[in-house]
Amino acid sequence: MREINASIPFDKALWRQDIAGSRAHVAMLAAQGIVSPEDARAIDEGLQSIAAEYERDGVPEDWDLEDIHMTVESRLAELVGPVAGRLHTARSRNDQVATDFKLWMREAMLRAEAGIESLQRALVMRAEEHADTIMPGFTHLQTAQPVTLGHHLLAYYEMTRRDRSRFADARARMDECPLGSAALAGTGFPIDREATAKALGFARPTRNSLDAVSDRDFAMDYLAAASQCAIHLSRLAEELIIWASQPFGFVRMPDTLSTGSSIMPQKKNPDAAELVRGHAGRIIGCATALMVTMKGLPLAYSKDMQDDKPPVFEAAGLLDLCLAAAAGMIADSRFEVTRMRQAAELGYATATDLADWLVREADIPFREAHHITGAAVRLAESRGVALDALSLDELTAIDARIEQRVFAALSVDASVAARASYGGTAPDQVRQRVAEARSELGIDE
């Protein structure tokens, strides 16, 4: 029972939040006349001494004390004597842990938002640098149409904008303080819940004591947002892994975020990217673990809820690492612009431009234009050249309606420049989106 019941090995991470909550609580008890000013002062000074000890030496693990709450209270009694027992007036470990956990989660959400912003800044700066850099765009991992590298990187900026908003939304939803809900029904003492909520930086107290102590949707909100963010990071990491492989050769990963082989001296492995990709599975697993834990619990508190913290702590640590690694990879990687352009040219990425030209200039139905373009691609492929390297005679042999003007549409430069619709890959559009992103991030302020 001692081993299965103790949570101090992991919930000691909440010591700062636990002491902050206790200090706010005892200050309110004194203001309401529930404890004397002298007792409140002694308790507060004792809590500050404990905080200094833990900051210096770490939190001791006495499994007989079960958790961080009893660990702090026991040490407080050693320091200030029986008066320490007054601290727990008008509260329970149930509202105490819910408050501590929310305070910790708020910091984790702010860290995630800051980590996302660092990645966004790297994405935007590299997108601006490569607004004109041409690369193949893919569907089904097959060359589709030419795009700019800047446009490609800004796609991840848009994904991370939504990721950041999910954490901000979750933070706004959890901005209610459980302290004062006591075990499940509230308390008969004349407490001031508005005061403790304000002291701890919450917008307001929770409105229902049963809900306040028995739900962990704020933690699941975090894990859901973390899972979605991790999925986006994993997709970015996968692309970098593919691009760094020799058949692609689109990017050289920074040495600081790569490793060598134990046996093959020529290897440069994108291990940081692979770990970002792998950690996504663990973060998603953490979200699943807490959801399954919570799914069948009746009101109010059950001891199952002690298992709420390990998956959140694990996911938060992994997400912080992944965001830092992703930002570093984007900021410090070297993109091989010549190789990217060659791949776009030899992948017949402008085939759609030829078909569009036939429809627009020769008034040919698209299905017929599609067939003519396919024949041109087969010819270029047989000769090992780009579409715009075919001669006019070769193209007119396929269809006599093709004219010299077609070559203006067949280069990869012309193709990306033509995609000037809002949100398109044209360099001018990329620069406009970069300017908007810089403004959103406050880069130019």
Which stretches of 296-420 are DSSP H helices?
A: 309-332, 337-346, 351-362, 366-383, 392-398, 407-410, 412-418
Pairing of strands 334-335, 176-177: unpaired
pLDDT: which is higher, 263 or 341: 341
pLDDT band at residue 407 using 50, 70 and 90 as cut-offs: confident
H or E segment to which residue 252 belongs? strand 251-252
Token representation of residue 36: 């004397």
* Amino acid 261: pLDDT: 62
Distance CA 170, CA 312 (A): 14
- For residues 375 and 398, is the Cβ–Cβ distance under 8 A? yes
DSSP structural state of residue 33: T
CA angle, residues 166, 233, 163, in degrees to nearest 5 = 10
Express each pLDDT in 408-440 by its tens digit.
888 899 899 999 999 999 999 999 999 999 999
Average pLDDT along the chain: 94
pLDDT greater than 90 at residue 248: yes
* Amino acid 435: pLDDT: 97
H or E segment to which residue 144 belongs? strand 142-148
* Amino acid 266: pLDDT: 61
Alpha carbon of 212 to those of 95, 96, 177, 178, 223: distances in Å? 7, 10, 8, 5, 19
DSSP structural state of residue 298: P
Distance CA 197, CA 186 (A): 15
Q: For the residues 369-387, what does the mean pLDDT come to?
A: 90
Task: Give the least confident one: 20-34, 120-134, 332-346.
Answer: 332-346
3-state class percentages of the chain: helix first, strand second, coil last, to nearest 5: 70, 5, 25
43: nearest Cα among 99, 87, 109, 105? 87
Q: For the residues 116-142, what does the mean pLDDT come to?
A: 96
Beta bridge partners of 390: none
* Amino acid 264: pLDDT: 64
Distance CA 139, CA 394 (A): 29
- For residues 358 and 371, is the Cβ–Cβ distance under 8 A? no
pLDDT band at residue 230 using 50, 70 and 90 as cut-offs: very high
* Amino acid 263: pLDDT: 63
Distance of CA 133 to the CA centre of its chain: 27
pLDDT greater than 60 at residue 378: yes
Catalytic residues: 140, 261
Q: For the residues 58-79, what does the mean pLDDT come to?
A: 95
First to last CA, the chain: 58
Q: For the residues 298-326, what does the mean pLDDT come to?
A: 96
CA angle, residues 44, 47, 50, in degrees to nearest 5 = 155
pLDDT greater than 60 at residue 265: no
Express each pLDDT in 92-112 by its tens digit.
999 999 999 999 999 999 999
pTM beyond 0.85, yes or no: yes
Express each pLDDT in 273-285 by its tens digit.
999 999 999 999 9
* Amino acid 351: pLDDT: 85
Express each pLDDT in 138-195 by its tens digit.
999 998 899 999 999 999 999 999 999 999 999 999 999 999 999 999 999 999 999 9
- For residues 270 and 250, is the Cβ–Cβ distance under 8 A? no
pLDDT greater than 90 at residue 222: yes
Distance CA 242, CA 156 (A): 16
* Amino acid 144: pLDDT: 87
- For residues 12 and 68, is the Cβ–Cβ distance under 8 A? yes
Which stretches of 62-92 are DSSP H helices?
A: 68-80
